[in-house]
Structure 1
Amino acid sequence: MAKVKLVDVAQLASVSKSTASQFINGRYDYMSKDTQERIRAAIKELDYVPNPIARNLKADRTKTIGVIVRDITGFDTSHTIRGVDDFCKTCGYNALIYNTDFDPDVEAKSLEALYQLRVDGIIIASSGGNNKLISDYINKGMPIVHFQLEHDGNEKNLILSDYRQAAFDATEYLIRLGHKKICFVTQDFKNVKSRNDRYLGYVSALEQHNIALDKNLIQYWHRETGFEHSPISILQSKAAPSAFFTQHLAITTDLLSQLNQTKISIPEDVSLIGFDDIPMAEFFKVPITVVKQEPYIIGKEATKLLLENINDKAKGSQKLMIACSVTERQSCKKIL
């Protein structure tokens, strides 16, 4: 079926395309009742639906924002998007979601597509690989708010969990249970400030309780290849930890899989606390203690900040920190 265009409506109603456009946009006070009725009847007969994108491209505001995420299926990310969407609805805005799968090239194309669609602003969980490009769009007048990760510390508008305090609280929770050998399992954090903040929170808790930092207990996980060193081999080493503190949901699930395969019991053999809540954790044989972020709140606050910047281009940059909490379950045991 051929798509009905505005010119088809105009022809059927025997009016100019400009007159039909004026009617569509609600500017018909000057029109005769007969003209209005003919256009209305033509729209109904042809089942014409206006193209909102085409209409918005002619307006100063599109009432649309873009949201760029790294993994739309992520538990926290999906809740963040829900917060964005709910806040948009209260303000008459729509959100266009782009998923990058952690690929900087896809991220760059998403930024370009949203810019060409003339969205009013963008919320992004960036890869860190397009910092200059993002700055260029900001300099062109595109309001942009970052969330989830802080890469180089130069992000102008940012909504984040308080990672450092959260990591401190989680580490101290384990220490108060008697744990001194706590294995910190993380992705590379040298060039990502948010990941480094978690490490600093972990180190700070050890220092406050006079526990020496053991570099052997800093272990790395890579999204493509998994653990740099097998968790099983770590548990069998001289520096064997009594607890793991994992820094991402994917790390937690990967660790659980390996422990289950080798019949290592939680918390009898080793305790575990993970960063990010786990879907349906209450149904696990041993529910996992986690650091719980507030992704829904982050989504709402990011949208609020973005719309403030859209409405006031002179508004100064802001960095907002959202508190996390430790959700205690059965995966951590007290030791002597």
Structure 2
Amino acid sequence: MATIRDIARVTGVSCTTVSNVIHGKDNRVSADTIDKINAAIKELGYVPNMSARSLVSNSSKVIGFVNHVITRKGSNFMEDPFHSASIGAIEQELREKGYYLMLRTIETSEELLTFLRNWNVDGLFFTGIFKDHFFDVLSNLNIPIVLIDSYTNQNSLCNVGLEDFRGSYNITRYLIEHGHKRIAFASPDIKDGGVLQERFLGYKSALTEFNIPFDKSLVFVQEMDIASCRLASRDIASHPDITAVVATADVMAAGIMTGLREIGKRIPDNISIVGFDDISLCQMITPPLTTVHQDINLKGKLAVNLMLQLLEGKQATERQLILPTTLVERESVRSLLP
């Protein structure tokens, strides 16, 4: 990793001048010099060396939460109650340990490096991480990092995840065992190596086990905002042979249910639907949603525990923590069996 000394050597100025520009104390530095230093910072990929920080001294007590789940323009990452609950669980646990949480959505590796140059964070949580250039950059950062729901399979980094495949397999099997064979799958865009792909593969695996051919025309890809869910519901309703829907998130299931009701479909009388995550919304909608439960509070607690171990300079006892899922049966599924 580049250092202040490297930047000073490349630009021909003193380390003190470089440090002043990095920390915003540049009122006595010329504009040309500032531009030259900033160009060198970008070219060399400089980020502060934070490995020497301790919990006793020179610690900001601030942990960053970087969201790399990029939604379409106009969408809001925090509109999904699952993300709100997940971040809230981490914030509560950190607060009890005397830390603060800073939330930021970051699209590119350049934005990530800029963020780290401007904010004195002790560690970073990441969500929405795939095996790409962004991951290559973050994996080389000299700072404690804990990934949330990552399938990058990088054992050198800590990760807290979930039985996504198993949970989706189990709830699809539940539908099949209740007599459903034409089962739709509704999801946002499915990327290779991510949570949604694991849930998709679990769905397909259950179909295969029961000798039900996979039909790609029964896969409906939309975002999770209400307008997109309405579109998905109309697409699903245009296939009268569909008797059930597996949604990759509770909020998407709820949105599709709303859209189906708007066009006169009754749940579960006309069509059954299941979700994933078991957020509080599941018990507020009508009918209450059958879904896959994950312990969001436990996930937050485990993520924070891993972070604290790294901040204290300890080797994490377990770097890959995978939480189980359970099926929660409510009232959104109708049995088609005689």
Whether the TM-score (by the shorter chain) exceeds 0.5 is yes
Return the index of the structure with the highest Cα Rg. Answer: 1
Other structure's SS at 2:147 match: strand
CA, structure 1 residues 253+114, in 2 after alignment: closer, same or farther (shift >3 Å)?
Answer: farther
Report if the CA contact (8 A) 2:232-2:256 is conserved: no
Report if the CA contact (8 A) 2:237-2:260 is conserved: no
State the match for 2:57 in structure 1.
59
Give the C-alpha shift of residue 267 in structure 1.
Answer: 0.5
CA distance in 2, matches of 1:314, 1:290: 36
Counterparts of residues 1-336 of structure 1 (less than 5 Å): 59-69=57-67, 71-91=77-97, 93-100=98-105, 104-105=107-108, 109=111, 112-114=114-116, 116-126=118-128, 128=130, 131-133=132-134, 135-150=136-151, 152-154=152-154, 156-222=157-223, 226=228, 230-237=232-239, 240-312=241-313, 315=316, 318-336=319-337
Give CA-to-partner distance per residue, 1:137-194, whole Å, 9 cap, x none: 54341111111343x4447221112100100111111111111111111222242422
Structure 1 length-normalised TM: 0.71
Give the RMSD, CA atoms, in angstroms.
3.2
Give CA-to-partner distance per residue, 1:35-73, whole Å, 9 cap, x none: xxxxxxxxxxxxxxxxxxxxx999343333122345334
Report if the CA contact (8 A) 2:147-2:158 is conserved: yes
Give the C-alpha shift of residue 327 in structure 1.
Answer: 1.6
Other structure's SS at 2:239 match: coil
CA distance in 2, matches of 1:111, 1:329: 46
Deviates more, 1:267-276 or 1:214-223: 214-223
Give the C-alpha shift of residue 197 in structure 1.
Answer: 0.9
Give CA-to-partner distance per residue, 1:257-309, whole Å, 9 cap, x none: 22011010000000000123354443433112112222111111111111112
Q: 4+ residue stretches of structure 1 with deviation over 6 A?
A: none
Report if the CA contact (8 A) 2:291-2:329 is conserved: yes
CA, structure 1 residues 302+328, in 2 after alignment: closer, same or farther (shift >3 Å)?
Answer: same
Paired residue type of 1:119: V
The percentage of aligned residue pairs carrying the same residue is: 24
CA, structure 1 residues 57+272, in 2 after alignment: closer, same or farther (shift >3 Å)?
Answer: closer
Report if the CA contact (8 A) 2:159-2:320 is conserved: yes
Gaps of 5+ in 2: 1-53, 70-76
Report if the CA contact (8 A) 1:66-1:114 is conserved: no
CA, structure 1 residues 140+231, in 2 after alignment: closer, same or farther (shift >3 Å)?
Answer: closer
CA distance in 2, matches of 1:259, 1:228: 8
Gaps of 5+ in 1: 1-55
CA distance in 2, matches of 1:140, 1:154: 14
CA, structure 1 residues 59+136, in 2 after alignment: closer, same or farther (shift >3 Å)?
Answer: farther
Structure 2 length-normalised TM: 0.70
Give the C-alpha shift of residue 233 in structure 1.
Answer: 4.2
CA distance in 1, matches of 2:248, 2:135: 27
Q: What is the aligned length?
A: 275
CA, structure 1 residues 193+81, in 2 after alignment: closer, same or farther (shift >3 Å)?
Answer: closer
Give the C-alpha shift of residue 211 in structure 1.
Answer: 2.0
Paired residue type of 1:95: Y
Give the C-alpha shift of residue 243 in structure 1.
Answer: 0.3
CA distance in 2, matches of 1:335, 1:158: 40
CA distance in 2, matches of 1:244, 1:112: 42
